[in-house]
């Protein structure tokens, strides 16, 4: 397992990469098709771009070493949501446009003793970056 989220930047980056890989595998096992990873634009970043049936899904992955200070999903606020939406818009415009069904999900990965815990929050925020109802 990667270093703690409260440590140095390299440890946080390693934890994030490990969480993203685990989230991608978890989603793929459930029928999601992974189209892209770590899509960066000047306006933001999308961790995973997937297809869930006919729906284009942009996924923000959040990882932590414990849930002691709340779940990883709680760290996705409106600003982060808006940045994901901006990067997702750029991606969608280059891949079929905005006239397709689009959803914004969060996958929370908590590393601790034993197996990592993966939680999926479909429609975690809307096209304006506002939190959904989990």
Q: What is the mean pLDDT of residues 49-65?
A: 94
Q: What residues does each domain of the chain span?
A: 9-125
Q: Is the pLDDT of residue 19 over 70?
A: yes
Residues 56-71 have a mean pLDDT of 82
Separation in Å, CA 124 to CA 43, 75, 98, 99, 131: 20, 12, 19, 20, 6
pTM for this one?
0.86
Structure confidence by residue, pLDDT tens digits, 64-86: 887 656 666 776 778 888 999 99
The pLDDT, as a whole number, for residue 5 is 44
79: part of which helix (H) or strand (E)?
Answer: helix 78-93
Q: Which residues of 33-58 are buried (b: 16+ CB within 10 A; e: fewer)?
A: eeeebebeeeebebbbbbebeeebbb
Q: Which CATH number fits domain 9-125: 3.30.70.920, 3.40.1130.10, 3.40.1350.10, 3.90.950.10?
A: 3.40.1350.10
Backbone angles phi, psi at 9, to 5 degrees: -60, -40
Is residue 105 scored above 50 in pLDDT?
yes
The radius of gyration of the chain from alpha carbons, rounded to an integer in Å, stands at 14
**pLDDT for 3 beyond 60:** no
Average pLDDT over residues 1-11: 55
Sign of CA dihedral 38, 73, 15, 53: negative
Structure tokens at 50: 């997937």
Determine the average pLDDT of the residues in 97-107: 92
């Amino acid at each position: 397992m990667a270093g703690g989220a409260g440590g140095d930047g390299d440890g946080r980056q390693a934890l994030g990469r490990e969480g993203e890989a685990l989230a991608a595998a978890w989603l793929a096992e459930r029928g999601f098709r992974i189209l892209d990873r770590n899509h960066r634009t000047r306006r933001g970043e999308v961790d995973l771009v997937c297809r869930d049936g006919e729906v284009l899904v942009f996924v923000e992955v959040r990882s932590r070493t414990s849930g002691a200070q709340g779940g990883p999903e709680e760290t996705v606020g409106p600003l982060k949501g808006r940045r994901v939406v901006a990067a997702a818009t750029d991606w969608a415009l280059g891949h079929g446009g905005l006239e397709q069904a689009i959803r914004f999900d969060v996958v929370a990965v908590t590393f601790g003793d034993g197996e990592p815990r993966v939680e999926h929050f479909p429609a975690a925020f809307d096209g304006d970056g506002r939190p959904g109802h989990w």
